[in-house]
Structure 1
């Protein structure tokens, strides 16, 4: 459950009284966090801009031998040895049956929809990055937006059934911020109505639910390995599926639809991951546990520092057995002295660059707003979240002094 809302502050007096425990907590956390990080990169200067994320990169000397192999073999793409090895290692690491690598997650999502031969309507969330619904339009499908759950900010299963029509063919939920959807409830709905389920799992690398990877749910799950994600290959993505026959179909679709040298039985595109990207992925896997542990330390520091600030609520975990700390969203309540957008501007003025993920709603953009399901009055929870959520900077080498600086600025808007 999400933490209960804090009681309204008695204006500035309460904020000043909250400042003392905030400062003491921050001093303690800076010491503890520095011990957890160990030999982290040099501290960021107070003059350096702090962005919402910074890509994790492994030591260059570990990447160089793989680059030399690529130069020696001159195999650059088309399912080379590093591509095959990364698929195999990801299957083991994630605990999933099949992994098909792609050049990016948007291409992977479009090919996932194609692989299931969908047409008609697909129920989805308005609260996500716009690529989720763009993939539907590229595939000739009609998005049908339904509201989100107020606790997890994921697609609300209680609202899905009312949106099902004779034209509905699938459900496209998003594990928002890496928090698992109510996969059991969605599966029951899909089974009852004969619908496919494709999870946009761009945020969910390494997340486990009830003892196994959350990627094992649904017909297909789509991962992103973009530079901003917890596991990156510069650019990249993948489709997780349950059986070799579907993996074979997906592999053909991402290679222009080829089935052999002279046979093209399907309309595919060029979605292959290169050997350079796959090689980086292999090196990244060596460090993913450390990267996630450092993200967890940042998450812990934020939660401890922010808990005493009236009007600031941290999004609670959604029951995941293993989280990946992909984002750190906070909700700005009406009892906070200034609005979410005013805090966003104040932080940017100080060189801190949070993001309003996800504002505006997908359904507010011009290509979607004329859809009957896009009316804001029918999406009140999503609309409220879009107006209140602010994602704070989080990445493995975020300096503890910077975390303290961010929390102090929020405590003193």
Structure 2
């Protein structure tokens, strides 16, 4: 059986060397030395400042919303993982869905602009599949309406736009370090803030609002801290990250070549780098997509409808602000993510592509 994803595991002795440092100091959490080292190394690798490691990617989004004291509704995309919307709703912010661009399947800036009303406090776009959305347009839209722009960049680790990290756009960008991601710490995440003042407030909030210098409670807060054990895995994976991304991109490009004429893909940002986060393919209609999904499963290959359904149709989100989003709704019916992970072989990619060709028929 070929799974849709498989976590990258660094060499066990490399991981245990980091764990030995945890045992030597008996410092397991509360912004320990490994978390601090991971922060420093990630900032250097990604080319960003004000990166705050946290316990997971969903908490990263919730923390960003709290730092900016958001109230009302936030315009966001229905073509994404549910955490983008559920994190907003969990903080009492109503997700207000706008449709996606039919070429990129990222949030459409024009449709997003039409969805802004007097209760809108933020725009929350997603770099879907690691493909950067129109960051310049969203920067202008945020300034025009005096709104915070917070990017869900869970898929976009290591991605650059115009030679600079995509994480440098917006008021904040959030990352997921879940085990299924390009870079992971088993569970984990981070927020990258544009302004250092926002970072400093978030640092207080992530530790119950306690100022560790005075030990006074100076702000509202919660516990979003990353542990030393998770940071150890993150450091071990980060040691190998260039090879991880190189291998994933090579497999991504092989898929693109082999499936040319049999499926379509989202149009990638012309000035962006690749990280091989996902392998999305789109077919002519829902019937063909289901046929491919079932045929692959019969051959021992697990693909995934990702993302499905369009979140504006999900119970609990299908309210007055969940307007019809035809592009997202159709995209959710026609899109599959194929297996893509570092240990996947070229032979397995060729096998998967040949099975798809057999299922669809001659082109």
TM-score by length of 1: 0.84
SS in 2 for 1:294: helix
Q: CA deviation at 1:266?
A: 2.9
Contact kept in structure 2, 1:207 and 1:320, CA below 8 Å:
no
Would you say 1:292 and 2:240 are equivalent positions?
A: no
Q: CA deviation at 1:244?
A: 2.7
SS in 2 for 1:171: strand
Q: How many residues align?
A: 358
Within the candidate set 242, 260, 270, 2:194 is matched to 242
Q: CA deviation at 1:308?
A: 4.1
2:168 aligned partner: 216
Within the candidate set 2, 12, 16, 1:64 is matched to 16
Contact kept in structure 1, 2:105 and 2:266, CA below 8 Å:
no
- 1:10-409 matches, cutoff 5 A: 49-260=1-212, 262-309=215-262, 312-334=263-285, 339-369=288-318, 371-375=319-323, 378-409=324-355
Contact kept in structure 1, 2:169 and 2:194, CA below 8 Å:
no
TM-score by length of 2: 0.96
SS in 2 for 1:197: strand
Contact kept in structure 1, 2:131 and 2:272, CA below 8 Å:
no
Report Cα offsets for 1:77-109 as digits up to 9, x if no partner.
000000001101111100011110001000110
The CA distance in 2 between the partners of 1:128 and 1:267, in whole Å, is 30
1:15 aligned partner: none
Higher relative contact order (CA 8 A, sep 6+): 1
Q: CA deviation at 1:69?
A: 1.4
Structure 1 stretches of at least 4 aligned residues deviating more than 4 Å after TM superposition:
none
Any unmatched runs of 5+ in structure 1? 1-48
The CA distance in 2 between the partners of 1:364 and 1:68, in whole Å, is 48
Q: CA deviation at 1:214?
A: 0.3
Within the candidate set 334, 352, 357, 1:411 is matched to 357
Report Cα offsets for 1:233-266 as digits up to 9, x if no partner.
0010000012332211111111122224653233
1:9 aligned partner: none
Contact kept in structure 1, 2:171 and 2:195, CA below 8 Å:
no
Q: CA deviation at 1:325?
A: 1.2
Any unmatched runs of 5+ in structure 2? none
